[in-house]
Amino acid sequence: MTDARHDTETETPVCYRHPTRETWVSCQRCGRPICPECQTQAAVGVQCPECVREGHAGMPRRAPAFVRALRPSGTPVVTYVLIGLCILLFVLQYVTGGAVTDAWLMDPSAVRSEPWRLLTSGFLHSQAFFFPIHLLFNMYALFIFGPLLERFLGRSRFLALYLLSTIGGSVAEVLIYQWAALTNGDIIDATNGFIQPGFSLGASGAIFGLMGALIVLRRALGINLRQIVIVVIINFGIGFVVPNIAWEAHLGGFGVGAAIAAVYLATRRSQSKPLQIVGVAGIAVGLALIVAVCVATASSFYS
């Protein structure tokens, strides 16, 4: 009996997939003996084909490249591209002798026939001085605020926030123009020129949209509310005190940016993504409707 038991314990194990092949190597995961052909090197030891497949099945699948490109990353690509576009167009404004400026600046009276001005004006900057103060100020603000929001929101949501804030600032200027048109200019006299429609250009509407988003998302971002509020108040104050600054674009961009951030915050769960898309699209449609109503109710003032 002792000899028989000894023979059983010393019997050479065989591969569970190839019964004719002897092996003393076992899978580190399930313990079954496996021959060299069935062995897959793991972090520790080797694993059998079935355990390897089970391990791969439990791993999250890699998303397509175009989906990964829209996710948050360490490099704020969208912010840098926006800065690059503004700089490029600033150069083109000089090279074309102002032709690009004339074609793309915000002219409220031209939004019916040239609606692209609502967006393109946000990528142009004043050339009233040889030194590009306007451009540098806005690009510095974008460089400070943009990466923080882009990494938190992701590229696609950040881009939607930026572009719609730009349009929001332009729509506010359309409303000021509409107000002046419907009152035959009386509102201009009544406010001593404080409410004064005119041409405008610059990324300020978008920058204020980012500020509005930062205030709404302050807790999620973990930033100090007092600091951002001080920055916003100072910038709003400059717009109201310094002449030839489109303060209405600041207000419009700020309001739209805050509204979009509120939608993002309310629909932050993954299952709420369809509602998030509907909410942001609704804001875009609302801006378009405001312009359409203005044009329809005072068509003689729009070319």
Residue 261 domain-assigned (yes or no): yes
How far apart CA 45 and CA 265 sit, in angstroms, is: 46
* pLDDT one-digit tens code per residue, 157-168: 999 999 999 999
Are 238 and 276 found together in one domain? yes
Q: Does 248 fall in a domain?
A: yes
Residue range 146-198, pLDDT digits in tens: 999 999 999 999 999 999 999 999 999 999 999 999 999 888 888 887 788 88
CATH of the domain at 132: 1.20.1540.10
The pLDDT tens digits for 266-296 are 998 888 899 999 999 999 999 999 999 999 9
Residues 279 and 152 in one domain: yes
> Is the pLDDT assigned to residue 257 strictly greater than 80?
yes
Domain-located, residue 67: no
**Integer CA distances (angstroms), 90 to 97, 159, 164, 209, in order:** 11, 21, 21, 21
Question: Are residues 165 and 16 part of one domain?
Answer: no
- Kindly state whether residue 62 falls inside one of the protein's structural domains: no
Helix (H, G, I), strand (E, B) or coil at 46: strand
Q: For residues 48 and 183, state if they share a domain.
A: no
63 in a structural domain:
no
Tally of domains in the chain: 2
In a domain, residue 69? The reply is: no
Residues 7, 146: one domain? no
* Residue 6 in domain: yes
Q: Are 21 and 111 part of one and the same domain? A: no
| Residues 128 and 189 placed together within one structural domain of the fold | yes
Same domain, 248 and 289: yes
Same domain membership, residue 49 and residue 79: no
The answer to whether residue 70 is domain-embedded is no
- CA-to-CA distance for 122 and 86, rounded, in angstroms? 9
Out of 173-182, 212-221, 227-236, 280-289, pick the least confident. 227-236
Q: Which domain holds residue 18?
A: 2-57
Closest CA to 235 of 210, 216, 258: 210
